[in-house]
Amino acid sequence: MNQKDIPALDPGTPAILEMNHISKTFGAVTALVDVSIRLRQGEVLALVGDNGAGKSTLIKILSGFHHPDSGTIVYQGKEVHFRSPRDARAQGIETVYQDLALINDLSIYHNMFIGREYHKRILGVKLLDNRRMRDLAQTHLNSLGIQIPSVNSTVDLLSGGQRQSVAVARSIYSSPTILVLDEPLAALGVREGAHVLGLIQNLRRQRSVSIILIVHNYNQVFEVCDRINFLHSGEIVLDASTSETSEEELIRIVKSGLGRQAIAAAALEVGPGPDQMARINPDQS
Amino acid sequence: MARTGRSSQGAAPKVGIQLPNTVLERALVILSRYREASIAVVALILAIYFQVGSNGAFLSSQELSVVLRDTGRFGLIAVAEVMLMITGEIDLSVGSTFSLAPYVMVLTSIGWGVPLAISAVVGVLLGVLIGVVNGIITVRFRVPSLITTVGTFFLLQGVVVSIFNSQPIVAPVQEPFNEIFGENLYSPTDSLWSWHGLTAFTPFLWTALVVGAMALVLNRTTFGLHTIATGSNIVGAREIGVRTDRIKVYNFMIAGAFAAAAGVINTAQFASADPLAGGPFLTLQAIAAAVIGGTSLLGGSGTAIGALLGAFVVATLNNGLVMLGAQATVSDIYLGTAIILAMILNVQVDRMRARRRI
């Protein structure tokens, strides 16, 4: 579970996703101003920033839940417009939202398969294949080492950690191309948190899925991420690989007056890193 | 009450799923697990009570035919109301749709000489259209369905009474359409097991068929799953890709279609289309049936079978008390009490389930 276990991502790896110049306002509230992020194939990108910085809005635009006022999304080399989360899921982008999007009145296995149900035909009528979904859900949860009382029980009977685990398990069931995790560790205890971090590390080791991770705990960021984007007041103020920055620098950014100029000055003071432009714009590095 | 079975064991876990402690909580858990069964028990007790009270007249084929026909009428609308209530919406316009659809059916049949069977389809499609309008106003313009459908209720009621100054119109009788869809050919000399005997109960049988189908839809289809998801957690459902707006509109369409079909069956029975056949009272009786059947307005849970059982309870109270010599209006006191008690119970059962979540 150490950073050193996993070789660094080849810097020449092509981007799987580019969100360019995304802006979004909700009525009088400006959530995002000209935000661009770039995710490389197999990369784990951390999106950090204070509450209200716009992290969740950004990923909800990626998942098709919100629509950007302006800006483009280029996914697998093509410009895409996700009209709904259904669209994004169909194209291999899975999201674990902060609220987990679990349906309390449904069983765990129905929650696992909602939106991609298995059917069987009985007398020509398309009915849910509950047995198949139940078995597949059980097998999948077992393979991830997630322990729950029974896949038949409704999710309202689960503890916070179990709910989080089920939501993460659901998101990786279909082997997505991009996995977005919004605070996947928020409701978890130390042991459960370590388990989810372990799942992310495993995915990262295989480099088959690209991950955007929203986390609050900077310690955890450095454990599992390749690169960090710092979002403040709807703008990206830092873009650096984990090896180029440090926890102290992140904390300094949070504490400093913020805004781009202040950050630039602060970043230069920190010293040995590459020059400031490279930090703001990774394309030139 | 202070010493319960669990706490007396000493080693009761402090975290995790809290098992029910008090007798009341246990009863609520059993109720939540066997909702239909508990309403069935209530229905059975009522039937026995009226059977004894009326010296055996209640379960006679004549009286039962009346009660089950009422059950069919309330039940068909109630099951659609259950579907809507599961999504967290409600349709109060069903009482007008019930009057308007058969009125239009009879007018098209007489005016254009179309067979009743075809104009009945026109009537039901009109119900579907009303559902689309209710649904779109509710999901697109974000008007609460309670208000939307009060509006469409008055609008449609006004339309149907203004066509012929509130006059009922005589409907043509075309066999086998009428005898299949509600006309009662049963007379005391007939065997109950003949075709004529069967026609005594056709509205009920159609409703039972539809309720069975809706139970299947709710529990075994993607549409049912998404209907529950929409009412249980609308934001979460949307986030995971459920098209909640569509699901709501579809359920409004079902409500319109079923209310129209119930009206068509009513007209086939009486060979008359009365602009005042439905009205607010029918709407409320159907909602009462849904509520007594164990569906709360909170969304996410409800049962189709419960709607039929609830409809039977409403029909039994309506007819049984009159049989026992009470004024027709007295039955409303019992009905009102039953609705309130059922609703308290439904909400408590839901809260009970919520409280078990840690």
Q: Do B300 and A157 touch (CB under 8 A)?
A: no
Q: Give the CATH number of the domain where residue B215 resides.
A: 1.10.3470
Q: For chain A, what percent of residues have pLDDT higher than 70?
A: 87
Residue of A nearest to B350 (CA): A105
Interval B122-138: pLDDT, tens: 999 999 999 999 999 99
Q: Do B239 and A156 touch (CB under 8 A)?
A: no
Q: Give the CATH number of the domain where residue A258 resides.
A: 3.40.50.300
Task: Give the residue numbers in A contacting B (CB under 8 Å), as ranges.
Answer: 63, 65, 84-86, 89, 95, 97, 99-106, 110, 114-115, 117, 119, 126-128, 130, 154, 156-160
Residue B187 lies in a domain: no
Nearest-by-Cβ selection for A99 from B220, B236, B356:
B236
Within 8 A of B223 by CB-CB distance, chain A residues are none
Residue A161 lies in a domain: no
Please give the angle made by the CA atoms of B37, B42 and B46, to the nearest 5 degrees.
145
Residue B256 lies in a domain: yes
Within 8 A of A106 by CB-CB distance, chain B residues are 225, 228-229, 232
B237 in A contact zone (CB under 8 Å): yes
Of A121-125, A230-234, B64-68, the poorest mean pLDDT is in A230-234
Residue A259 lies in a domain: yes
Q: Do A105 and B301 touch (CB under 8 A)?
A: yes
Q: B127 versus B186: which is more confidently predicted?
A: B127
Residue A223 lies in a domain: yes
Longest Cα–Cα distance in chain B: 80
Residue B175 lies in a domain: yes
Q: Which of A67, A96, A102, A104 to mutate to test the interface with B (most CBs of B within 10 A)?
A: A104
Distance of alpha carbon B82 from its chain centroid, rounded?
7
Q: E strands along A107-151, which residues?
A: 119-122, 125-128
Provide the ipTM: 0.84
Give pLDDT, residue A273.
42
Residue A242 lies in a domain: yes
Q: Residue B256 is part of which domain span? A: 60-182+196-352
Give the integer Cα–Cα distance in Å for A187 and B243. 28
Q: A80 versus A193: which is more confidently predicted?
A: A80
B356 in A contact zone (CB under 8 Å): yes
Q: Residue A201 is part of which domain span? A: 3-100+176-284
B221 in A contact zone (CB under 8 Å): yes
Give the integer Cα–Cα distance in Å for B68 and B73. 9
Q: E strands along chain B, which residues?
A: 169-170, 272-273
B301 in A contact zone (CB under 8 Å): yes
Kindly tell me if the per-residue pLDDT of A156 is higher than 50: yes
Let me know how long chain A is: 285
Residue A32 lies in a domain: yes
Task: Say if residue B209 is exposed, middle or buried (CB neighbours under 10 Å; 0-12, 13-18, 19+).
Answer: exposed
> How many independent structural domains does chain B possess?
1
Residue B3 lies in a domain: no
Binned at pLDDT 50, 70 and 90, residue A14 comes out as confident
Residue A119 lies in a domain: no
> How many independent structural domains does chain A possess?
1
Q: What is the mean pLDDT of chain B?
A: 85
